[in-house]
Copies of this chain bind each other. A is one copy, B any other.
Amino acid sequence: MHNRAAVMYDTHDIRLEERPIPEPGPKEVLVEIRAVGVCGSDVHYYEEGRIGSFVVEEPLILGHESMGTVVTVGDEATKHEVGERVTLEPGVPDMTCRECRAGRYNLCPNVRFFATPPIDGAFTNYVAIHEDFAYALPDNLSDNAGALMEPLSVGIWACRKAGVKAGDHVLVTGAGPIGLLAMQVALAQGATEVTITDVSPQRLELAEKTGATRAINVSEEPLTGVEVDALIECSGNERALGDGIRSIRPAGIGVVVGMGPGEESRIPLSLIQNKEIWLTGTFRYANTYPAAIELAATGKVNLDAIVTGYYGLEDAEEALQASRKDPANVKPMVVPNR
């Protein structure tokens, strides 16, 4: 067994190197990684070297949308067997702070999250993780689907915050992987009209193929005449957010998932007041993995539909550049043992 890793040394500088195989702790399992999705945040670290206050100061392994096969089980770990395919929830919280005790473990200030400095991620052959954060995958799910439980969780979390229910109308702004999956979850949760916006014709086409009832290219036509129960903002674009908020019905909900460029944003606050709209944001997710796995396993969401390319570990850098080069390359996958 060797453990190779695609290590980010600096912006635009990824190096393939040999790393020791991690030793799983007593409650951990060692997982041989089989598939890792490339996320916008990986791309952001690769290009900018930081996301907000998180700065890459030491060599860092990127990748946090991952799955693999259990190869070793820690002495006190009882939940998994060698050979089991598992998907990995990439953030392990402390489970003692106020947020964890209140069930908001995604807001734990001490969480250790894959590919967030200084914690390494999954563009590597082997990863050790606490057994509670690995989840068995049903046989009818592909490796890709297993890895994409992570962005699916983001979509589930957004739809939970949005309170989507049968008969709702939903607006998703931004048809990247998160927007596309949030859209599928909204449909699975009963939305009867889901409008999605983007500026990429290919992404909008994919949105329509995967269920959007209306797709609007906002570089060509304005977003008008839409009144929705919930907005799920996935573009990180201030104008999309403003137009989105203007589309929310009285007492509706806006959930901001996409991250904008700075700390502050301009929003139509008077509308939030006059229509008593609720606005919130999501930071990762909590308690979503079991639902994610079932939604995919029952066919209520289709994760394979958004996979657009495969890359070996040695091509991780190419994978990180893929989406920017071609917006149609929505979800490149890194396959470490290719």
Contacts and interface: CB of A to CB of B under 8 A. Distances in A.
B270 A52 contact: yes
A219 interface: no
Nearest to A249: B98
Nearest to A271: B263
Contacts of A22: none
Number of this chain's copies in the assembly equals: 4
Contact of A268 (B99, B251, B264, B277): B264
A233 to B, nearest CB: 10
A309 interface: no
A165 B185 CA distance: 10
Interface in A165-202: 165-168, 185, 188-190, 192-193
Interface stretch (A67-75, A103-111, A319-327): A103-111
A20 interface: no
A205 interface: no
Contacts of A145: none
Nearest to A267: B267
A114 B299 CA distance: 41
Contacts of A300: 166, 190, 192
A291 B99 contact: no
A257 to B, nearest CB: 8
A258 to B, nearest CB: 9
A170 to B, nearest CB: 12
A144 to B, nearest CB: 20
A259 interface: yes
Interface string A217-247: 0000000000000000000000001100000
A161 B251 CA distance: 11
A276 B280 contact: yes
A286 B101 contact: yes
A104 B265 contact: no
A275 B107 contact: yes
23 contacts: A98-B287, A99-B250, A102-B103, A103-B104, A104-B276, A107-B276, A156-B166, A159-B166, A166-B188, A167-B292, A167-B294, A189-B190, A192-B294, A192-B300, A241-B269, A257-B273, A259-B270, A263-B269, A272-B280, A273-B282, A273-B283, A276-B280, A276-B281
